[in-house]
Chain A
């Protein structure tokens, strides 16, 4: 599944200072569905190069990291349970960095 992932607010520093990643995420265990929970695992393994604790806490993003799926707050779409679709744009922004 092709997705566009964007990191901002300082999170890009955790992945080699690259803000926008066009990625192809293989669906897990042969199941067609890809949820945000799966994606976070994938990001953690494949994109985050340092200090993963700045990005995740438990199996979700660290509190203070905002997530938008197609420019819509993920709190509206079910957070970890949100199902992703082809060509979705997922944005992660940290609010924790200096103001």
Chain B
């Protein structure tokens, strides 16, 4: 690398837009500025700090879990948050929280990365596994149900696992690594599938404040490109593969569209988020009555929570229970559609990543 640095491609080439001293290392998608590596670190971290301050994401004395998947976003999030916490005296206690879905060749490898992060950043790590919580690994579930609805199981189980892990760590909040590209993608997906309720929520920086544990997204305005550049320049240790069980045709289209857009107009990503924030959606959607699951005590607007319904199906050898039209245990209740309100915002990360 030292060799690479010493190479001057064009003598007298442009200098960093900020410091006017060093050679630029990247072009910022947000501003199109050409900036050097040092200035990049500074503006990258400072912008996230401003987002945290302006949105009052953390209060002194709070315990905050970082949803850690071992991927680029959560790795950079863990690094930057511990750095900012130190630098600006947020006074928060940070933890890493990982979910082990039990997917051989995918999650076991990425958990190794998280374990290294635990040491590198000195943050206590808690891993909750599907096997411990539910008695099933995703590998076992896929063996029974095949590849058709596996993501439904995984999604429902993960949300609850995260809340349980957070409760175990006694944290006040969970921070996830969703970046601007992810949120823009979610806005589009919610338009494509006609989900107005989620469309109105998906751009909120903090969600689930009425649920057991609120979630927040400090990277809401941070471009994926910058996160990857940051991780690369800082030589952060992260893991990257796709979940082996996730088919991704439809989401793939949206993702590719966002990247194509970014190429011709980088600001489009932030424009989509702004659109999402400004949609005229009447806020009269009714919130369901929040009760607790009779079986496990998790919050639920139904008799049994979704995870228990799915689990019951698995254990009784009827894995279709709770999938598709709701002829399950709760069918006397109102349409289940309402159930998700207030629990958590939909996110569109590829299946199997840990950023919920």
Q: Which of A51-99 contact B (CB under 8 A)?
A: 62-64, 66, 68-73, 75-77, 85, 87-89, 91, 93-99
Of B57-65, B69-77, B325-333, the one with at least 4 CB within 8 A of chain A: B69-77
| CA of A73 to CA of B243, assembled, Å | 29
User: Smallest CB-CB separation from A99: which chain B residue?
Assistant: B73
| CA of A73 to CA of B225, assembled, Å | 11
B255 at the interface (CB under 8 A from A): yes
Interfacial chain A residues near B3, Cβ < 8 Å:
87
Of B79-87, B257-265, B273-281, the one with at least 4 CB within 8 A of chain A: B257-265
A13 at the interface (CB under 8 A from B): yes
User: Smallest CB-CB separation from B239: which chain A residue?
Assistant: A98
| CA of A36 to CA of B281, assembled, Å | 47
Interfacial chain A residues near B260, Cβ < 8 Å:
63
User: Smallest CB-CB separation from A73: which chain B residue?
Assistant: B26
Interfacial chain B residues near A62, Cβ < 8 Å:
259
Interfacial chain A residues near B228, Cβ < 8 Å:
9, 66, 93, 95
A93 close to B232 (CB less than 8 A): yes
Task: Give the Cβ gap from B104 to chain A, nearest Cβ, in Å.
Answer: 16
Task: Give the Cβ gap from A35 to chain B, nearest Cβ, in Å.
Answer: 13
Interfacial chain B residues near A68, Cβ < 8 Å:
232
B242 close to A98 (CB less than 8 A): yes
B225 close to A71 (CB less than 8 A): no
Question: A64-B259, A76-B24 known; A97 and B242 CB under 8 Å?
Answer: yes
Interfacial chain B residues near A64, Cβ < 8 Å:
224, 255-256, 259, 262
User: Which of A77, A85, A95 is B224 in contact with, Cβ under 8 Å?
Assistant: A95
Interfacial chain B residues near A72, Cβ < 8 Å:
9, 23-26
| CA of A9 to CA of B239, assembled, Å | 8
B71 close to A99 (CB less than 8 A): yes
User: Which of B9, B179, B229, B240 is A98 in contact with, Cβ under 8 Å?
Assistant: B240
A9 close to B240 (CB less than 8 A): yes
A66 close to B27 (CB less than 8 A): no
Task: Give the Cβ gap from A77 to chain B, nearest Cβ, in Å.
Answer: 6
B255 close to A96 (CB less than 8 A): yes
Identify the interface centre among A10, A62, A63, A69: most chain B CB within 10 Å of its CB. A63
Interfacial chain A residues near B192, Cβ < 8 Å:
none
A13 close to B229 (CB less than 8 A): no
B5 at the interface (CB under 8 A from A): yes
B352 at the interface (CB under 8 A from A): yes
Interfacial chain B residues near A75, Cβ < 8 Å:
26-27
| CA of A9 to CA of B71, assembled, Å | 9
Q: Which of B116-142 contact A (CB under 8 A)?
A: none
B232 close to A70 (CB less than 8 A): no
B259 close to A66 (CB less than 8 A): no
B232 close to A98 (CB less than 8 A): no
B263 close to A99 (CB less than 8 A): no
B355 close to A99 (CB less than 8 A): yes
A8 close to B262 (CB less than 8 A): no
| CA of A72 to CA of B14, assembled, Å | 13
Task: Give the Cβ gap from A67 to chain B, nearest Cβ, in Å.
Answer: 11
Interfacial chain A residues near B262, Cβ < 8 Å:
63-64
Interfacial chain B residues near A77, Cβ < 8 Å:
9
Between A and B, 6 residue pairs with Cβ closer than 8 Å are: A9-B240, A62-B259, A71-B1, A71-B37, A87-B3, A96-B255
12 other contacts beyond A13-B241, A99-B71, with CB at 8 A cut-off? A8-B232, A9-B228, A9-B240, A70-B7, A73-B229, A76-B34, A85-B7, A95-B227, A97-B71, A99-B74, A99-B350, A99-B355
A→B interface (CB under 8 Å) = 8-10, 13, 62-64, 66, 68-73, 75-77, 85, 87-89, 91, 93-99
